[in-house]
Amino acid sequence: MSAAAAAPSPDDADLLDAYSRAVVGVVERAGPATVSLEIGGNRMGGGAGSGFVVTPDGYVMTNSHVVSGGKKIRARTPAGEVIEAQVMGDDPATDLAVVRIDVTGHPYLPIDGALTPRVGQLAVAIGNPLGFESTVSTGVISALGRSLRGKGNRLIDGVIQHTAPLNPGNSGGPLLDGTGRVIGVNTAIIARSQGIGFAIAVETAAWVLGELLQHGKVRRGWLGVGAIRRPLDRRLAYHHGLGSAAVEIQSIEKGSPAAAAGLRDGDLLVRFGTARIEGIDDLHRALRSWPPNAPAQLVVIRRGIRVTVEITPTWMT
């Protein structure tokens, strides 16, 4: 192949420039809101992580595992300012936490829980890996709806998988789209892997932020079931007027609301109250908004038969 034939076409150059401009624009908009968190006195003796300011009065979102057990937390801004920080709320179940720094008018990144990331779109991670502040890495969203085990072995659903390289210290930093909007909070990598990073989805982050700011803790309904998403047979779905999937109950905890309601392993949960249930995320959303100690009507498919069950979720904190 000749040198002329190997040279990039003008169209290729234009595409590269457009990509570069997009990343630069994201960094310019989001970079000033990202801070480095220095943790002292935790179980490991000290550490560092990332966070980003989410309100104009200095609330910072980060990971629970970054600040958990820390006796002294300091935030270092991209401008070099060091500010004492205080934990305002912590939710190990989703590996998210909120700290407060004493600033006003600082650049911030609003969290919009209505954003819906798409597989293949640009993903930009900003953080402080291995002490290198304001490091930027880019990639794409590889998959949506992944699950990770959080503290206490609780399953975190709706996790974003992406290819933007992450390293220790990136935890708690923002994952952004091509316009600088927050689409997730970086939380984990798989050791010895390449191009496999995970972020808590913005929908979950927005809900947790609201709970922590309003109540100082996260409140959630609990049924006491272990379950997975299960595609439905088309004939069964057509017969009962259902969608393409349901939540299959695989285990029931003793003494739980599910046990009291008589739910069984293998039941297919298709409706909670008025909400159609086609996956674990649907069930979590329904439980988030359900009033405490209020009974709910569950619709399940049990051995092909539609059954309505009354259940009262327990309000957990």
* Catalytic residue positions, numbered: 65, 95, 171
Tokens of 270: 């298709």
Taking residue 296's Cβ as centre, other Cβ atoms within 10 Å add up to 22
Measure the CA–CA gap between 174 and 187, rounded to whole angstroms: 9
| CA dihedral over 40, 82, 177, 245, signed as positive or negative | positive
Closest C-alpha to 111, from 214, 31, 205: 205
By CB atoms closer than 10 A (0-12, 13-18, 19+), residue 294 is exposed
Whether the CB-CB separation of 164 and 124 falls below 8 Å is answered with yes
Closest C-alpha to 26, from 182, 186, 179: 179
Measure the CA–CA gap between 199 and 262, rounded to whole angstroms: 36
Strands (E), 217-295: 220-222, 225-231, 245-252, 268-272, 275-276
Measure the CA–CA gap between 20 and 282, rounded to whole angstroms: 37
By CB atoms closer than 10 A (0-12, 13-18, 19+), residue 215 is exposed
